A = this chain, B = another copy of it.
Amino acid sequence: MSADTDISPTADGILEAITRVFAEKGYEGVRVSELAAAAQVNKATLYYQIGDKETLYHRVLERLLRRAADEVAGAVADAGDCESKIRRFIAILARNTGNLRFTAPIMLREVAAGGGNLPDAALLQMSRLLGMLGEALDEGVAAGSLRPVNGFLVHMMIVATLMLYSSNEPIRRRVAELNPGLAPENLFLSSEALADQVADLVLSSIRT
């Protein structure tokens, strides 16, 4: 069922290695030879183990989104009230480490491209995320602590803010240089501070 499980260790190592390259340069910006070099493998091995450039990319996408959704699901599962569910949801997505680090740039490019390269498997994982937040919001509404809002838009707001923020650090640096008046403590947040501030803003906008 899962495309990961019946995959050879070599193939998974390749996917692990090339994820970073796709994240940094984007599908069109990457040369197959770079992928091979990153995976420390001959170009032909990529084709033998996985497939052509497009297939490589699809596999990377699926793997990445499944892991992201799994991580969030794990964190949200054992949270108490709806507010802490939402906070954990945000906290995980704000964390910019491991494989999650590459999710944002890849997804930003996918969105920009109209999602033409997003396989259904990847969309399903996005829907999982959407569902988790939706449940937390519904729970809050039922409990009377949250007002009913457009859950999809709130989801978009959270994900968009976190993805853009995680990815635009180099741009922020330049903006800060160009505008010495800007307070650096507002521009450069640790992922924890980012999560807290985003959660505060979001929650105070949807509380009753």
Contacts and interface: CB of A to CB of B under 8 A. Distances in A.
A13 interface: no
Contacts of A154: 201
A114 B205 contact: no
A112 interface: yes
* Assembly stoichiometry (copies): 2
A202 interface: yes
Interface string A76-117: 000000000000000000000000000011101111111110
A112 B174 contact: no
B171 A111 contact: yes
A152 B186 contact: yes
A194 B150 CA distance: 10
Dominant SS among interface residues on chain A: helix
Contact of A161 (B111, B161, B187): B161
A112 B26 contact: yes
Interface of A: 24-29, 104-106, 108-116, 118, 120, 123-124, 126-127, 130-131, 149-154, 156-157, 159-161, 163-165, 167-168, 170-171, 174-175, 178-179, 182, 186-187, 189, 194, 197-198, 201-202, 204-206
25 contacts: A24-B114, A26-B26, A26-B112, A105-B111, A108-B108, A111-B167, A111-B168, A112-B167, A114-B170, A114-B171, A115-B171, A116-B170, A123-B175, A127-B178, A127-B179, A152-B182, A153-B197, A156-B168, A157-B160, A157-B198, A160-B161, A160-B165, A164-B164, A204-B205, A205-B205
